[in-house]
Amino acid sequence: MPTLDQHPFGYFALLGLLIRLAGNTDEFVLRFPSLIAAVLLVPSLVTLSRWCVKQGLFPRHAPLFAGLFAALSPFHLWYGQEVRMYTLVALLAVLAAYWLLRWLEGETLQEQRRAFPVYLGVMGFFLSTHYFAILQLPVHGLAAYVHLTRRNRRRALLGVGGAIIAVTAAVGLAVWLVLRQGYSGSNFVQITPDILLPDLLNAYSLGLSVDIAQVWGLDLVFGGCALFGCGWLLWRGTAQAIRRASAAGEGWGKRMGDWVVASLPAWFLVLLLVFPVVALLLVNQLQPAYMNARHMALISGVYLFFLGGGVAAVGRFVRGSRLVSLAIAGLLAAGMLFSTWNYVTQPRYDKDHFDRMGQVLQENLAPGDALVLDPPHLGRLYRYYLPVDLIEAARAAGVDVTWRGVPALQATWEENEAILAELVRTHRRVWLVESGMFPFVDPERQAEALLASHALPVLRLPFYSQNSYLHLTLFVPTPPTATALPPDATPVGVQFGDAIRLEGYTVRAPLTGQSNIPVTLYWRSLRPLETRYKYLIRLEESATGASSVAEREPYDAAVPTIWWTPDVIVVEQMTLPQPRPGVNGPQDLRMALHLYDAKTQEKLPVSLPQGRASRPGLILQDGVTLKLPFPVPPPEFVALSQN
């Protein structure tokens, strides 16, 4: 089936294995691969740096600084908490480089033979985790060819070249299959070096939780240290190659070949950082292939490797002073911690607030409601954060509540409109969830427009979304009016001043013991109104004294009193918080109601119309307060599930 977020299978195979081992899709299980990859990146960079120290390519403190920067990296902190493959890609890129060097530069043939299968396994996993991993494949192939050509140039060319061609063909076919699907690649943009390089530098230095315009100077310090690390590695590698070639006393041509072989670790590691960036810019000339820095996460670990080596090398270069390296490391670490502080404390760096939306739905869903999810492709995410499982369990127990994904797959918009119209016709209220995380199937938000053509939107709650939108909208059948009270309503007939009469109300069973209580109020305006009125409701539990308060305009100002037509009943469906959530049996509550001018806060006097008798349990108190009995039936889902 065509998908909208196409990546190779490696990460998802690992995630599926962990889910099966754990036996659940708990949030910790889902995030664990990214988390453990970010953690393991620290010892991996330390190990690679130690190998370079052992080879005489970096100063001895390089592993310490590389590990420090990997541990503090805001970029890997960010993606180490997401159910995505980006920290795993960074880890595998470092491990693949390390095991290639162990294979090519092993001191004994036995060591090389032990390293080779490990390298093949890591490299295979790397290539199957992200398509951009292929951007480092030519560098690996070149290093392997240079090493193997010392034994047999023809076999080296055939073996390495054949492997690269085969892998490139396989990845190319996969990419072609992805790009030929609808909307694939439409979210990539054309880039130039002046856009790409600052974006990558800032992301891998200070992360996504800073304003690049404010920290660009510090970004340049990061970049300068990493560049110095590249230069130091090339200088040390070249110096070693020159010494070895000169000691051999051979001709110029032979000496040049020895230089290339002897300096292989140096130029190999530098190319791992540089070549993917150059290759991406070249690919961009044919097909835009960049969205943001996470897609180039394969070089993020290598960048931190050079950053640590560069900071250590600066101290060696400046008269061997460790204090210089420590001062620079302290400055860079402070910048990383500042970014992390922003990430933890500033709401604008939050993830999309699906959890808060789920809490609102959990509290306000009531029997007779329908939940519409747009787009349905976020099904797993919706199921995790929103009460989809609760709806299914309640529906299985016979409760009138349901959910539906829209737009339905392989259905026309006319067919989707019929689906939505049927939901409006058969349910008291319809909740619409809209996320712009994947806007491809409904880019013009037609689902909302179609619902609005059949129902009235009475509540719209925007939730924080970092890169798009996240909305929850409540619809009720339009118009929300009536000519008389329904048979199940409790008559009241109390007037508030000469403006409004509360004709009656209905209290229904909540969905669960934690859900808000569904209430319907039946209002009637007695004359044309030019004032917006609000009301305050206080629910009190007789036995415990627990209470809850709700204050709002009718339909949360979606249907204000200035729009009401005289002598027409306005039917307001709402939910009220329970004074004591979790009660699974009937509740004996009382409702106190005030109506007041929204501008002046002046309360309207309450009275019974002349000649009308007071209802049982109805109390008019202090001239402005109406008190009513408020018996709440037991929750529908709990009651049914206990039978």
Give tens-digit pLDDT for 617-640.
788 888 899 999 888 888 888 744
pLDDT for 9 equals 84
The Cα–Cα gap between 109 and 103 comes to 9
pLDDT in the model for residue 151: 60
pLDDT of residue 179: 56
Given this model, what pLDDT does residue 500 score?
A: 95
pLDDT number for residue 174: 56
Residue 470: pLDDT over 70: yes
pLDDT for position 640: 43
Residue 38 is predicted with a pLDDT of: 96
Contact 492, 503 (CB under 8 A): yes
Mean pLDDT of 442-463: 92
Residue 381, both tokens = 């995410």
CA dist 38 and 81 (Å) reads 9
Ordered domains of the chain (ranges, CATH)? 10-349 (no CATH), 354-477 (3.40.50), 481-642 (2.60.40)
The tokens describing 104, both together, are: 């090519």
**Res 462 pLDDT > 70:** yes
Q: How far apart are CA 311 and CA 317, in angstroms?
A: 10
Q: Is 393 exposed, middle or buried (0-12, 13-18, 19+ CB in 10 A)?
A: middle
Collapsing DSSP to helix, strand or coil, 518 comes out as strand
pLDDT at residue 642, rounded to an integer: 42
Residue 24 has pLDDT above 90, yes or no: no
Contact 376, 405 (CB under 8 A): yes
Instruction: Specify the range with the lowest mean pLDDT, choosing from 144-148, 167-171, 416-420, 485-489.
Output: 167-171
Residue 180 — very low, low, confident or very high, per pLDDT cuts 50/70/90?
low
How many C-beta neighbours within 10 Å does residue 334 have?
Answer: 12
Mean pLDDT for the chain?
Answer: 87
Band of residue 224 on the pLDDT scale cut at 50, 70, 90 = very high
- Is the model's pLDDT at 155 over the cut of 70? no
pLDDT at 239 over 70: yes
Describe the strand order of the beta sheet including 606-607 as a list of residue ranges: 481-482, 569-576, 517-525, 500-507, 490-496, 606-607
Please report which confidence band the pLDDT of residue 643 belongs to, taking 50, 70 and 90 as the band edges.
very low
Give the residue from 326, 292, 301, 321 showing the smallest Cα distance to 200: 292
Cβ distance 106 to 348 under 8 Å?
no
Percent share of the chain, pLDDT over 90: 58
pLDDT at 349 over 90: no
Comparison of pLDDT for 106 and 433, the residue scoring more:
433
Q: What is the pLDDT of residue 339?
A: 96
Does the pLDDT at position 554 exceed 80? yes
Q: What are phi and psi of 441, to 5 degrees?
A: -80, -20
Indicate whether 176 pLDDT > 70.
Answer: no
Which of 8-12, 107-111, 206-210, 608-612 is the least confident region? 608-612
Q: Return the percentage of the chain with pLDDT > 70, whole number.
A: 87
Residue 335 makes CB contacts below 8 A (sequence gap 6+) with 205, 206, 215, 218, 222
Mean pLDDT of 148-177: 62
Rounded-to-integer distance, Cα 560 and Cα 228, Å: 66
CA 413 to CA 419: how far, in whole Å? 10
Cα–Cα distances (Å) from 29 to 14, 24, 273, 462, in that order, read 11, 8, 32, 29
What are the pLDDT digits (tens) for 311-344? 999 988 876 678 899 999 999 999 999 999 999 9
| All residues at 6 or more sequence positions from 277 whose CB lies less than 8 Å from its CB, including other chains | 196, 197, 200, 296, 299
pLDDT at 530: 93
- pLDDT at residue number 3: 41
Give the DSSP H/E element, type plus range, for residue 338: helix 322-345
pLDDT band at 596 (very low <50, low <70, confident <90, very high): very high
∠ CA 67-73-74, nearest 5°, is 165
* Residue 174 or 114, more confident: 114
Task: Assess whether pLDDT exceeds 50 at residue 641.
Answer: no
User: Once rounded to an integer, what is the mean pLDDT over residues 480-494?
Assistant: 91
- Confidence category of residue 1, pLDDT binned at 50, 70, 90: very low
How far the first Cα of the chain sits from its last, in Å, is 41
Q: State yes or no: pLDDT of 524 exceeds 50.
A: yes
The whole-angstrom separation of Cα 488 and Cα 494 is: 18
CB contact set of 244 (below 8 Å; sequence gap of 6+): 258, 262
